[in-house]
A = this chain, B = another copy of it.
Amino acid sequence: MTDPFFSPKGVAIIGASHDPHKLGYGALRNLIRYRYRGGIYPVNKRSYEILEKTCYPSVSDVPDPVDLAIIIVPAPAVAETLRECGERGIQHVVIVTGGFSETGPEGKIMEEELLAIAKEYGIRIVGPNCIGTIDTHTPVNTTFVVGMPEPGEIGFISHSGAMVAAIIDWASGSGIGFSRIVSLGNQIDVNETEMMRTIALDPNTKVITGYIEGVANGQRFLKEARKTALEKPFLMLKGGKGESGAKAVASHTGALAGSKEAFQTAFRHSGIQEAETIEEMFEWARAMAWQPLPKGDRVAVLTNAGGPAILAVDALEKQGLKIASLSVETKAFLSKRLPEASSVNNPVDVLAGSGPATYTLALEALLSDDNVDAVVVIQAPQDWFLPVSLAEVVGEVAGSHHKTVITSIMGKASVEEALKILQKRKIPNVAFPERSASVLAAMINRRKWLEEAKDGSPERIKADQNKAGEAVHDANWAELLKVYGIPFPDQREAASKVEAIEIFKSMSGPVAMKLLSDDISHKSDIGGVILNVKTAEEAGEAWDRIKKAAQSSNGKLKGVLIQEMISEAPEVITGFVRDPQFGPMVLFGSGGTDVELYKDVDMAIAPLTKVQAHKLMRRTKVYQKLQGWRNFKKCDIEAVAQVLVALGQIASDHPQIGELEINPLVVLPEGKGTKAVDVRGSLQAEN
């Protein structure tokens, strides 16, 4: 239970100060100013009273009830202070003081001491080197930062204290309300994963947002984040995306799976939606807190001016949303009620002269139309009526439907009052209409994720674990894949003409015969490759021709490779890597030698279900090709999904394998399966 960080019964401020320039002053001031209703107990040996509150010489002197302490004493004194808290029975502590592991190894040693004391007394710590916690509903503000956000539905956790300070300052002017805010600091105890669960369980929090720079434990994060996102919208800004320095790259797969991609994969798996900017994150959060998710992607635009509607439509289409086709009834109704020159197609343009009544009728009609999932209401500045009236009617009409409504009442100076009304009515407003698109897209993505999140558990593929273990031990990847049912082209080497004919007879169907020689590189150029050999007689002839070709090129014939004939078909790359944070990830994408040029690949957390395998494939461009492309028929996509599932299972079953890559995996027409033409892998050092 970490709830005393947000609804304490009493708070001791150890290191409270008279001096307005000290943090110990700010924290005390904030508890008082932002109306914390429990006991507020400044602790300072040298004072009797600070800010009209009785001051205590030591935390042991603080009266009951008190279950939270804020420690703001110099770093060397923190350990002793923490012990005093333990003795006093305070089990929740925010350590604001900095100067620990962020300054070097000595600070790290001090942190370990703190952690030992905390374990001894059962104390939970937020920090050190943090700003503290805020709950606007309790209310309590344990930070020293001036300002208190308005109460709202958004929770925010942050690895950066400065970001918390900036958000508090910014929020007060932006009409975005918060439920809980936490600065995690060096998180020696409570980390982002535990805190996100605490906030998810807060009934006042409808949306969880965060700024994180990393995760304490990748596997645990994955599990808890997914649980959280299934309950509430979960939005994240990830700091530190650049690749730090060069890294050894052993394969395509390794080169394509950077830390940025790993985080994206982990976030996608968990249902965390990653925003690009701070504003975007909170714009998404506000809309998800205030409006229902759209049931589909069909958007209607209602406007009093053409240009702004065009920008909105461009942006919506760029985000992949659909411009709704209005029903015949809606169009008929609008034709009757709107001014003559109005457009009754989507975007619906009521023209400059129309007022809130016209908007009301049009919005009512659009929200009643079964072809419409969401409406963007645009108002370009005009002199005909007060924007507040529009805000009122939009709020009222939207309130009687269960569809998503976003407004863009444009302008600044003239619309402030209107924006306040929209805020009260829980209608998110964007300053410019094109910004509605990213908000709606985020909402629709959440709905889709929720719908598809019931993936079930990965089904197990039956594989002989003895054989598999042996193959792994021998690093015989081809054999390992066979154990897991991933088909290879049938092939064998012949050392003589007689053997070649024997081998041909033992194989089914036509074969390709290829010169084996150490001296000759471009075998097909000299006639060393003969395709589509269909009879034993042809096989013998082919042997002779290959032998002759080798002779005329002065090369030494080592033998002939006889390979099951694979007709030309799309090639993909697949495999798995192990991310140091999040564990094994299955990779899929366009194969061949250009894979690193186009980077048409994506990843998913292993092991995966068939459904997840299909979703992974759909995120690549090559998927289009597998569905039938130019002279290629529709491919055996189901068989590819099976390979992905098998690879995910291999990754789970055999932690000794560091990486495995099939490139190319040839994908045959529907019902014909796949062929792993080439496979590479590497073992990793035992842990």
**Which chain A residues have a beta carbon within 8 Å of chain B's beta carbons?**
21, 26, 102-103, 144-147, 158-163, 165-166, 168-170, 172-174, 211, 213, 237, 239-242, 276-279, 304-308, 310-311, 313-315, 317-318, 341, 352, 380-384, 410-415, 431-432, 434-435, 522, 524-527, 530-532, 567, 593-594, 597-598, 600, 621-622, 624-625, 629-631
Contact (A314, B411) CB under 8 Å given A145-B383, A162-B304, A383-B26: no
Q: Is the CB of B169 within 8 A of A242?
A: no
Contacting pair A213 B307 (CB below 8 A): yes
A146 CA to B160 CA, complexed, in Å = 43
List the number of copies, as a whole number: 2
A170 touches B410 (CB 8 A): yes
Complex Cα spacing A384 to B146, Å: 11
Identify which of B162, B211, B522 contacts A380 (C-beta below 8 A). B162
**Beyond known contacts A166-B410, A239-B310: 14 more, CB 8 A cutoff:** A21-B384, A145-B381, A146-B381, A161-B307, A162-B307, A165-B382, A165-B411, A169-B381, A211-B307, A277-B435, A278-B311, A593-B631, A597-B625, A598-B621
How many angstroms from the CA of A304 to the CA of B163 in the assembled complex? 11
**What separation, in Å, do the CA atoms of A394 and B413 have in the docked complex?**
28
Complex contacts, A168 vs chain B, CB 8 Å: 381
A sample of 21 cross-chain residue pairs with beta-carbon separation below 8 angstroms, ordered by A number, consists of A103-B341, A160-B305, A160-B306, A161-B305, A162-B305, A163-B307, A163-B308, A163-B380, A165-B305, A165-B380, A165-B381, A166-B381, A166-B432, A239-B314, A241-B318, A277-B315, A525-B567, A593-B629, A593-B631, A597-B624, A598-B600
Other-chain residue from B307, B317, B432, B598 in contact with A241 (beta carbon distance below 8 A): B317
- CA A309 – CA B1 in complex, angstroms? 33
Most buried by B among A384, A434, A522, A621: A434
**How many angstroms from the CA of A162 to the CA of B530 in the assembled complex?**
70
Contact of A147 (CB < 8 Å), options: B144, B170, B211, B413: B413
- Rounded to whole angstroms, the CA-CA distance of A173 and B431 in the bound complex is 12
Whole-angstrom CA separation of A593 from B352 in the bound complex: 50
Q: Which residues of B contact A435 (CB under 8 A)?
A: 277
A166's nearest neighbour on chain B, judged by CB, is B410
The reply to whether A158 and B307 contact each other, CB–CB distance below 8 Å, is yes
